[in-house]
Every structure is written in C-alpha cells, then in structure tokens.
A and B are shown apart, each in its own frame.
Chain A
Amino acid sequence: MGTTFDLWKFTKSAAFYALVLFIVVVSVFPFYYAILTSLKSGTDLFRVTYWPTSLSFDNFRQVFTQGAFPRNLLNSVFVATVTVILALFLAVTASFALSRVRFRGRGLLLMTILAVSMFPQIAVLAGLFEVIRFLGIYNTPWALIFAYTIFTLPFTVWVLTTFMRDLPVEIEEAAIVDGATPWVIITQVFMPLMWPALVTTGLLAFIAAWNEFLFALTFTVSNETRTVPVAIALLSGGSQYEIPWGIIMAASVVVTVPLVALVLVFQRKIVSGLTAGGVKG
C-alpha cells in the first residue's frame, strides 16, 4: 500500500517536472540559440552546435560600431518610454472616470474602447498614415508614439478600470471627506494602491512598443529615426547575397536584454494584496 502510493506520487512529480522542463526548453531555446549564434564568427555560424564552441564578441562590437544601431536603440528607448508614460497617464485618468464617475453612456464608451482594440493593425495602417502626414509627424519618433499609444490604450484602460473598480469605495469617500480633489485622490490615494496594475500594464505597453514592426517600418524612413526591430530586419551584409546572421543575432540579444531586465526588476514590485488592512480584511 505504502510503496504503491509513493510510486504514484513519484510518477506524478516526475511527470510534472518533465512538463516544466519541456516548457522551459521550448520557450528559452530560441533565445539561447540566438546568444549562441551571436558568439560565433565566420563559417562557424553555419555549423549546428548546442554548446558554445568559441567565444567571440566581434558581432557585438560590429553592431555598435557599424551603421546607426546605437541611435536606433535610443529611439526605441525613447519611443517605448514616452508611450508608456503617456498611455498610463491617459489610462489612469480615464479609468478613474470610467470606474468612479457615473455618467450617461459609460458602458457604451467602455465597449467602444474595447471595440477599437479589435481592429488589426493593417486595417488602420493607411488611415493612420494619412493622419500622421496631416499632423506633420511623419518620420519622427512622435509618429510611433502616437500610433503605439492608440493601440495600447484600450487594453490599459480596461485593465486599470477593472482594477480601480475593485478598490474600496470607502477609501475614496474617506479622501473626499478629508478634502481631497479627484486629482489628489488619483495621485495620492489610488496610484500607490494601483502599483501592481500600473507596473503590469506599463510593462506590457513597453514590450509592445519595443517589439512593434509594421508601424515602425511604415512611419519611419530614415536610418536615424528607425527603431530596433526595423533596424535589425534591414541589417545588411557585405553583399546582397550575404545575410549577416552573427550581427543580427548579436543585435537581437542586445535588444532582448533590457526587456528581460525590466521584467526581473519589476517582478519584485508587483506586490499583491497591498490593499490589505485599509478596509476590514
């Protein structure tokens, strides 16, 4: 009886860890292989190996010295950061209204916001292009910030509205009694309580803006204004018949590292249960 029980338990946990291992390998392998490739040089690139054979940082050096890659990297940082700040500001204020202020057509507005997020990028590309030309921000980072904010807002607003709706009404009322204006309530009472939601949505908005390709390709034209996804795609080798895999992989690794770092840093900040204690638990 005891042994069969243990055996079953062992099988279960073995199967569980096997599954975990499988998922980890599948999700991490492409990145691992990119790192591996970025450290190779010459014809080594075309030999399939699963362990590092040589250690050469040539590709990384080339990425940063050839062309406008550092500039592209800065563009990406700027575009993604501003998009996050803008989207969070608009979303926090909008979600306060949508979750706390009673007004006619609130439900319809929320549905409309959700509906906007259903349009595929390609469907609005032409129209958005016209708008951007009209605004005179074509081929500037602002074109991308504008486009990314539009596409990030529906999701951000929805998540924050749901989150804000769950914050106890009494806390808001206590603040009103204390003489707080809506702005004070948002910035001094709600925002600190919404850290987890802000970090999560902000991070997702950052990643989306960082990785976006189609808009970046369409709305920017010069090397100096491009963001990294486009820049990497357009990296070219010595001749048109050569694809510089090594450099492409090195660039990809460089581009991925900030995201990994951000997630790791903010993971600690995502503290749940921050509202515990204010209202009867």
Chain B
Amino acid sequence: MASIELRNIRKSFGAVNVIKGVDLEVRKGEFMVFVGPSGCGKSTLLRLISGLEDITSGEMLFDGKVVNALTPSKRGIAMVFQSYALYPHMTVYENMAFGLKLEKGHSKEAIRQRVEKAADMLQIRQYLDRLPKQLSGGQRQRVAIGRAITRDPKVFLFDEPLSNLDAALRVATRIEIAKLHEGMHDVTMIYVTHDQVEAMTLADRICVLRDGLVEQVGTPMELYEKPDSIFVAGFIGSPKMNFLTGEKAAAFNCTTLGIRGEHMLVKPDGIWEGEVIHTENLGADTYVYLEMGQEEPIVVRLEGAMQHPSGSKLRVSPMEDRIHRFDEAGKPIR
C-alpha cells in the first residue's frame, strides 16, 4: 500500500559504483520487475529499497516520506530471498510468526490467526509443525513467501525467488506468485529476476537495468514492441531478437535492423536468403537458424513442426511493420 519513489539513487562499494543514479517511481499496488543481466545492479537496487544496504546518495521515498535512514522493519517491507533464508532451528509456524512476535502488541491468538491465514493461502498448513529441513525446495520457498505475507507488509520484495527451483516447480510457483498479487492488489511488489520470461509474465511494469542505470521502464508489451535501445530489444523476448547490420540494414535506412524470429515469413520471393545451419523443433514451434553473413545466425520462428534440412537454402522476408530500426548509438529510429 505504498508508492515508492527513487530520486537519483546512487550506491558505491568503496570505489566501485554499482548504482549510478536511478530515478524511478513504483506505483501503489504495482507489480514491478527489475530485470537485467548479472552484475547490472538489480539486486543491489532491491536491497537499497529494502534498507539492508545504505544509500550512498539520493533520496528514497515511501508514500512521499523519505525513508533513507529507516530500518527494513520500519519501512514496512517484507522480503523473500533467493536462498529462502528460513530459520533452520524453528518450525514453519515459528518461522512465520517470528516477525510478529518481535513486533510486540500482538496477542498469541492474533498471531496464530494470521499465520494460519497465510498458511492456508499457500497451502502449507499441514507443514506448520515441521522444520525447514523436512521440506522440499518448493515448500520452503512457499514458507518463505508465507513468512513475508504474515507480516502484512506494505511492500513485498522478491530477490530471484525462483532461481533455486527446478523448471516445473518454477512455472507452478510463478503462477502462484501471480495469483498472490491478484489477491493482494493493494500491496506493492518488487521482483528481481534475470529471467525475462518471469519478467514478462508477472510484471505490471518492467524496469530493465543495465550497468547501474535504468535502461527502460514500461509494460511488458511496451518493451516488446517499442524497445528504447538495442539492449532492451535484445534482452526482452525469446528467442532473442535478430540484429542485422551492413547492407541489409542500410536498405532500411538504419545502422542496425532488429527483427524478431516470430516476425519473419518464409517466402519463395523473400528478400533475404540464408543457409539452414540448425533446426530446433519444440513441437508447437520450430526455430530455424540461418547463416546470412551476420555476426550471429538469424533465428526464424515458425509455427508447428517444420523440416528444413541443414545445408538447404531458405528465403525469408521480415514483416515490414515489425521491423525495429536503430541508429549508430543504438537508439531507435521511429
């Protein structure tokens, strides 16, 4: 239930500047995802918001009030860690109740009710008496989320909560987090991930970070359709956007031409010709890798299962209205 505003936030560890001046607004009840390659400072930014790290300079506002000097608990945040960070010697119940017990002023009965309510939401009620080591990875992560819910925070922070789970569990937990957000739509959530699929599926808005700076903030579709730079264009979307340079780009009056694999058509009179070097058949789609004399092979995404033997030639055309044109500085030409 809090809006968060970052004004020219900087963070340095010794001589290393990790966050180099971030301005950002997270709206009330919004699900904001920080995404970026490793080392871009996304986790550090989250820790600055949480209060676990001190801000070197700049202002952090929660609901218009400066919180730079407030401790995490005073800020009203709850955090879910990548490694779960459950207290190993406490049962699930004690883990979830710990924060409330420290807050004082809650009766035992009130604590029990809140813990049980959170446990019901996450379907972990039957595990309340167990120790963390008796739980599976997915269950532990749910307990960690439950511990955060119990405290009824204004801001919910997730630090790569799914990266320790296996693929199937990751999808299931992702859906649960999405449902959780729907059920708690007045709670602001900030979620850090390096996985752009998580970012696309969960976010109301995504903040793409690069090298300590905000590259672009927008809804998933805005980032997908109107990336503000080559970096964002290449980072959002799977498979990665194809970039063509040289003559092929010059034909469209740009330095770099970006086109997504799903926005290319195989046609006998296609304007580009390439040699098939590899085919990935995913059942629903087929990715065909074409050698076109570019730095990297060009990926074409085709619907359904297709067979294009390696070594054969293929002609493709980009969908004209789906072309992204970039200038020398990597900025879009619109």
Q: Are B77 and A177 in contact (CB under 8 A)?
A: yes
Q: A176-B52, A178-B151, A279-B84 are in contact. List 5 more A-B contacts (CB 8 A).
A: A178-B73, A179-B72, A179-B102, A277-B131, A278-B87
- B281-306 near A? 1/0 per residue, CB < 8 Å: 00000000000000000000000000
Cα separation A275 to B77 with both chains bound (whole Å): 25
The minimal Cβ–Cβ distance linking A92 to chain B, given in whole angstroms, is 16
B123 part of interface (Cβ distance < 8 Å): no
Q: Are A277 and B85 in contact (CB under 8 A)?
A: no
Stretch at the interface among B132-140, B200-208, B244-252, B317-325: B132-140
**Given contacts A177-B52, A177-B72, are A171 and B102 in contact (CB under 8 A)?**
no
Assign chain B's interface to a size class. Answer: 20 to 34
Pull 19 A–B residue pairs with CB atoms less than 8 Å apart, ordered by A: A170-B83, A170-B84, A170-B85, A173-B85, A174-B147, A175-B87, A176-B71, A177-B78, A178-B102, A180-B102, A188-B98, A189-B87, A193-B88, A277-B86, A277-B134, A277-B135, A278-B87, A280-B137, A280-B164
- A70-110 near B? 1/0 per residue, CB < 8 Å: 00000000000000000000000000000000000000000
How many A-B residue contacts, CB cutoff 8 Å? 85
The minimal Cβ–Cβ distance linking B101 to chain A, given in whole angstroms, is 9
The minimal Cβ–Cβ distance linking A278 to chain B, given in whole angstroms, is 3
The minimal Cβ–Cβ distance linking B89 to chain A, given in whole angstroms, is 4
The total of chain A residues at the interface (CB under 8 A) is: 24
Q: Which residue of B lies closest to A167 (CB)?
A: B88
Cα separation A128 to B229 with both chains bound (whole Å): 72
- B67-79 near A? 1/0 per residue, CB < 8 Å: 0000111000111
- Chain A contacts to B: CB under 8 angstroms: 168, 170-171, 173-180, 184, 188-189, 192-193, 274-281
B328 part of interface (Cβ distance < 8 Å): no
From A176, A180, A274, A278, give the contact of B86 (CB < 8 A): A278
- Chain B contacts to A: CB under 8 angstroms: 50, 52, 71-73, 77-79, 81-89, 98-99, 102-103, 131-135, 137, 140, 147, 151, 164
Q: Are A173 and B81 in contact (CB under 8 A)?
A: yes
Which residues from chain A contact B89 at a C-beta distance below 8 Å? 192-193, 274
Cα separation A39 to B72 with both chains bound (whole Å): 66
Cα separation A36 to B102 with both chains bound (whole Å): 57
Q: Are B73 and A173 in contact (CB under 8 A)?
A: no
Q: Are B83 and A178 in contact (CB under 8 A)?
A: no
Q: Are A279 and B131 in contact (CB under 8 A)?
A: no
Q: Are A174 and B102 in contact (CB under 8 A)?
A: no
Which residues from chain B contact A171 at a C-beta distance below 8 Å? 85-88
